[in-house]
Amino acid sequence: MSSTPRSGSGSQAALRGLNTAALVRTLTAAGPQLQADLARVTGLSRATVSNIVGLESAAGRMRTERVLRDGRWGVRVSLVPEDWIVVGIDVGRTHLRVAGCDTARRTFGDREVALDQGHAPEDTLRLASQLLDELVADAGFERAQVRRCGLAVPASIGRDGAVVQQSVLRQWSGQDLASFASGALGIDVVVDNDANLGALAHAASAPGGNDGTLVYLKVASGIGAGIAIGSEVYRSTSGLVGELGHVRVVDGGQTCYCGSRGCLETIASTRSVVADFERAHGGHAVLDDVLAAAAQDDAVALRIVAEAGDALGRVLAVVCNLLSPDVLVLGGPLASVGKPLLDAVVASARKRALPAAIARTRFRVSEFEPRAEVLGACLLALQASGIAQGTITTK
Amino acid sequence: MSSTPRSGSGSQAALRGLNTAALVRTLTAAGPQLQADLARVTGLSRATVSNIVGLESAAGRMRTERVLRDGRWGVRVSLVPEDWIVVGIDVGRTHLRVAGCDTARRTFGDREVALDQGHAPEDTLRLASQLLDELVADAGFERAQVRRCGLAVPASIGRDGAVVQQSVLRQWSGQDLASFASGALGIDVVVDNDANLGALAHAASAPGGNDGTLVYLKVASGIGAGIAIGSEVYRSTSGLVGELGHVRVVDGGQTCYCGSRGCLETIASTRSVVADFERAHGGHAVLDDVLAAAAQDDAVALRIVAEAGDALGRVLAVVCNLLSPDVLVLGGPLASVGKPLLDAVVASARKRALPAAIARTRFRVSEFEPRAEVLGACLLALQASGIAQGTITTK
């Protein structure tokens, strides 16, 4: 880093602090500037400006974009104003979760409410809007400071922005969801599949960045995976990715809502696990009953969870053979069972995958559960607003 | 594109031709130049120089690299000298194939010889060296003009360059193959898995570039897949990718050489198909006998091929659910069967994959078979020599 005529300190760090302050002053006074102009105005070398802008961008305090000026490409630098925030919404079959996130990637005020199955998009978004108003106000922001909203849905989004068919949210199919939600919320909305956003949340939070392949498997009423390769979420042209819930694991098994038989979801989804628990124990149950029974070492509950884990591992063995991922994160409500599920998944996958393909794969239960999807939605909204990926923290 | 004082022609193409010639003259006379200096020396605008360099680089006639000069990044432009070539080697369990390729991505002189099973690396590389000498001489080049060699092997290559265990080429395991082959051939060698290179060959040759996900499935004595996402071949940290041959398709099936049972390779590899044909027809057979019988509508051969296709499709259905690829290319010796195999694969995969995940996937038999791997090896060697991907043609 080069020095400047202004600074008398010998310390590199002190020098960088002075130089950074000079850039911030200029950007505050004059607004966004070309990097080349910043060097000229401040008298700092181009290398110094470039270094500082790089460090500040990585820390989320500056933002750069390539712009065309007089027929040449330049880099325009802006301060990331601390006075705007983004919000994330995670819509499931029977839940709605919202959270806020500031430009330093600190999340705040997340809250969840239960929804009736078959909830209508307009009702759900109206409710989300109310919840967002509350959490924004509680955090001391104005609604006008909400720059963008990330929306996680248990459905695939095509390149045209429409929800692709065969979602567990049938009533949302075919919608141009981003436009619809933008209209309903009065905020710019970016939308993505919930498992993709779960993968994004975990990849962004890997210490030093995600340097390999991370697979996030969400086990809820549906079962889907998101894939992050380095810092990028894998996306297909069709919009569908990670539809592991509809891999056949039992020939001639139960009929699935997709029309096929013996799909993974007929054994390992929360719906199937609860139904199995009801059949075995008799009477009505919800997932919390299964989780509580498993926590108390109830043999029936543990066996049902182990069967689900075995089926999940059978499919994940194929994923390991194909992609040899570095990290495999189990998320979604069933992952709350913890060790009994994880152990069954790992044993089943290791038994079936080629040893060398799975040897390096680190399996774990999501540390963000049940917030992974809404955190991913916040990160997506930050990304769309020009803030690079990085570790997300809780305020 | 801006005009120059020198050119009087009104036609854009003629103008571009004159401007290109001016740049080539300068680069020929003075050697590699910064793009900014090229503009200054020739009097052409920066935009014109940038346009032409872009077009010529895409055509493989110029090469650019970012260089640091006086603390600033610039783009250095070189002519791609037509006087060097690369070669590709494809080593299989029982074959060796070599080819040459010039800097305009035109391949020449490919030839194949049969190898004994269990061939030793040093013998195979000595033979490859002899074959390369012949093909280089036949094409009118000197051995000294061979800049680099791409090497395709039916094995996984770790990040450290070593062959990872569990390859069908057991005798090659653990070797730092690139170093070993470089020493044996006296040429710089870059090495990769054969299915990865098959995927590279097809992705590079997609009209307008590969814009989605392409999966190349090689069905030989082993079964493996390569994945190209856009123009990039997917690589895992472990080095293993696409180990679909060891996905279990029959519970309690035949023992596989990997130690597991009922692996895809026990049903759909060329070894299994030939063994099944021998059992059904009696007597000794080789793959060509099966291919010939299938071509003559032999019911037994067609049924064995259909069984293999059904098993392949069962595993590819999972691949489609996971990645929803745009293109799925069948390659390797069994793919030479053509339609009977393709039809069985497609029917099986479509029956089992989620319809929306497979709807856009275009299945085809490789148009390069049996040359896909050696073409990919040539492209890898060109890439390592600074020549961008693009359509490969036959001289």
Class of domain B211-365: alpha beta
The pLDDT of residue B151: 96
Arithmetic mean of pLDDT, B43-56: 87
- pLDDT, tens digit, 9 for 90 and up, residues B237-280: 999 999 999 999 998 899 998 888 999 999 999 999 999 999 99
Distance from CA of B357 to the nearest CA of A (A): 6
3-state secondary structure A299-336: HHHHHHHHHHHHHHHHHHHHHHHHHCCCEEEEECHHHH
Class of domain B12-79: mainly alpha
Chain A residues within 8 A of B315 when measuring between CB atoms = 318
CB B238 to CB A45 under 8 A? no
Chain A residues within 8 A of B1 when measuring between CB atoms = none
Interface predicted TM-score (ipTM) of this complex, two decimals: 0.81
More confident call, A28 vs B355? B355
CATH number attached to the domain at A85-199+372-394: 3.30.420.40
CB A244 to CB B321 under 8 A? yes
Arithmetic mean of pLDDT, A40-49: 84
Nearest to B71 among A46, A213, A355 (CB): A46
CA–CA dist B97, B114 (Å, integer): 9
Arithmetic mean of pLDDT, A156-165: 80
Distance from CA of B34 to the nearest CA of A (A): 16
The pLDDT of residue B82: 60
pLDDT surpasses 80 at A46:
yes
Nearest to B166 among A238, A317, A354 (CB): A354
Q: In chain B, which ranges are E strands?
A: 33-34, 62-69, 72-79, 85-91, 95-102, 106-114, 146-153, 188-193, 213-219, 223-229, 232-233, 327-331, 362-365, 393-394
Could you tell me the pLDDT band of residue B67, with boundaries at 50, 70 and 90? confident
* Averaged pLDDT score across all residues of chain A: 89
The pLDDT of residue A166: 58
The pLDDT of residue B340: 97
- Tokens 């280089």 identify what position? B136
Q: Tell me which amino acid residue A177 is.
A: L
* Helix B299-323, helix B287-295: angle, nearest 10: 100
B370: cis peptide before it, omega within 30°?
A: yes
Arithmetic mean of pLDDT, A97-114: 91
CB A244 to CB B166 under 8 A? no
More confident call, A24 vs A122? A122
Identify the DSSP state of A164.
Answer: P
φ/ψ region of B237 (left if φ > 0, alpha if ψ in -120 to 50, else beta) reads alpha
Do A12-79 and A85-199+372-394 have matching folds? no
Alpha helices (H) along B59-168: 121-138
CB B317 to CB A238 under 8 A? no
The pLDDT of residue B6: 40
CA–CA dist B132, B97 (Å, integer): 10
Strands B188-193 and B95-102: unpaired
More confident call, B106 vs B2? B106
Q: Among positive and negative, which fits the CA dihedral A238, A242, A243, A248? A: positive
Residue B320 CA: distances (Å) to CA of A292, B143, B241, B302, B308:
36, 44, 16, 25, 18
pLDDT surpasses 80 at B4:
no
Each domain of chain A, given as residue ranges in start order, spans: 12-79, 85-199+372-394, 212-365
CB A212 to CB B165 under 8 A? no
- pLDDT, tens digit, 9 for 90 and up, residues B162-180: 888 655 566 777 778 888 8
CA–CA dist B13, B34 (Å, integer): 24
Q: Which CATH architecture has domain A212-365?
A: 2-Layer Sandwich (3.30)
CB B234 to CB A238 under 8 A? no
Could you tell me the pLDDT band of residue A361, with boundaries at 50, 70 and 90? very high
- pLDDT, tens digit, 9 for 90 and up, residues B124-156: 999 999 999 999 999 988 888 898 999 999 888
Chain A residues within 8 A of B238 when measuring between CB atoms = 324, 356-357, 359-360
Size of interface A-B (CB pairs under 8 A): 131
